[in-house]
């Protein structure tokens, strides 16, 4: 599925490449206790972000209103520090010329529209790696470029 949104900054198109595969969502075998909370991606939310390790996912979609709640996963990651520290790093990276280009792109193109969803997670290093891979494989976020299983990594190359 491809969603094309209005143009931003001249020729820059806000294009989200998303391939929802409900069968992948249904077979997600990660930890069932994940409790996701949604925050706006802005400095005002910083103090509300958990000071614990976990997973996070940037999403974009229409604001809560009378429209159906639909979001597109943009980027998914993990942090073994705290979610709050990682959130602050993304706030700084958003306008840092030395930041990762693919991350800066979605942070800037969708500025003011992104939400930061996160869930606290504590586990062994291997549990963190396995759960992140399962989340990536199930959601296939548009701007995440590593951490997938070999099966998904091969298929993503065909459509991205």
Confidence of residue 155 (pLDDT cuts 50, 70, 90): low
Closest CA to 135 of 52, 78, 71, 61: 78
Q: Residue 78: give its domain's CATH number.
A: 3.40.1440.10
Structural domain of 86: 2-149
Confidence of residue 8 (pLDDT cuts 50, 70, 90): very low
Q: In what order do the strands lie in the sheet with 72-79?
A: 37-40, 114-120, 54-60, 72-79
With b for 16 or more beta-carbon neighbours within 10 A and e for fewer, the 1-18 pattern comes to eeeeeeeeeeeeebebee
Structural domain tally of the chain?
A: 1
Question: pLDDT per residue over 86-143, tens digit each?
Answer: 999 999 999 888 888 888 888 888 888 899 999 999 989 999 998 998 898 888 888 8
Domain assignment of residue 73, yes or no: yes
């Amino acid at each position: 599925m491809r969603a094309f949104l209005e143009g931003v900054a001249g020729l820059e198109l806000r294009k989200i490449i998303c391939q929802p595969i409900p069968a992948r969502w249904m077979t997600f075998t990660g930890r069932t206790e994940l409790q996701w909370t949604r925050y706006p991606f802005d400095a005002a939310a910083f103090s509300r972000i958990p000071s614990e390790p976990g997973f996070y996912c940037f999403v974009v979609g229409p604001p809560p209103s009378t429209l159906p709640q639909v979001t597109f996963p943009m980027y998914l990651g993990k942090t073994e520090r705290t979610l709050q520290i990682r959130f602050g790093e993304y706030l700084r990276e958003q306008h840092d010329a030395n930041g990762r280009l693919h991350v800066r792109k979605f942070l800037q193109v969708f500025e003011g529209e992104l939400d930061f969803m996160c869930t606290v997670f504590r586990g062994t290093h291997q549990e963190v790696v396995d759960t992140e891979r399962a989340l990536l494989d199930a959601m296939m976020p548009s701007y995440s470029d590593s951490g997938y299983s070999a099966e998904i990594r091969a298929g993503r190359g065909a459509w991205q």
